[in-house]
Amino acid sequence: MQIDEYAHETDAELIVLGRQGMTGLGKRLLGGVTEQILHRTAVPVLVVSDGTQAKRDEFDYSQILLPTDGSANAETATRHGAAVADRYDATVHVLNIVDIQAAGGAFNAGGLNEAFIERLEDSGRDAVAATADELGQIAPDVSVQTAVEQTTSLDGVAAGIQEYVSDNDTDLVVMASHGRSNLKRQLLGSVTSQLLRTVDVSVLVTPRST
């Protein structure tokens, strides 16, 4: 892929790409070039939303969402989120989604006891607290909010993130290309891939940790 090769040769720090459009079902399509670069590049990629204003001085990144699952891969997004937030004087929302369906299985979600769900939420609170602490060290002047939310959607974590984006007027999502469940996979992480096809805002995708 020539774009990725050029980015490597020129020590580019960011690749900016658009999405292809939407299907009749309302889901966004990732263009072939965009998807290929996301699969292979070691450079952060900003996938620009269809509705993002073209003029630089019209960008408004006042509310930035930083999802985390507590993995090392998710942590790679923290410094990028901090840099954007510092530049735009933004508030960073650090979010962990508790996926009830995945935790209990598609046919057993209703059988999870409260103690088990509380442990999942405790783990989520630990993850967002660690990320918030790191943000405080990197960009001490940036405002940080934390949240742990449940989702029972069959679409899992991506659906929970999308709902949070809609409910909190998010301007930009900053997230890793791969999460905890994708540590050994070569393809784009399932949560990131699904989110890119459904969310209405731009997404800054950071490469996996090495």
pLDDT (tens digit per residue) in 80-95: 999 999 999 999 999 9
Nearest to 17 by CA among 41, 48, 50, 42: 48
| Regions of the chain with pLDDT less than 50 | 22-26, 52-57, 106-107, 109, 182-188
- Rounded distance between C-alpha atoms, residue 158 and residue 166, angstroms: 12
Q: Residue 110 has what pLDDT?
A: 53
pTM, two decimals, is: 0.84
10-30 pLDDT, tens digit each: 999 999 988 765 444 445 556
Whose tokens are 């088990």? That residue is 116
Task: Spell out the residues 6+ positions from residue 17 whose beta carbon is closer than 8 angstroms to its own.
Answer: 31, 33, 34, 37, 45, 46, 47, 48
* Ordered domains of the chain (ranges, CATH): 2-206 (3.40.50.620)
Give pLDDT tens digits for 43-55: 999 998 765 444 4
What H or E segment, with its residue span, contains residue 151?
Answer: strand 143-151
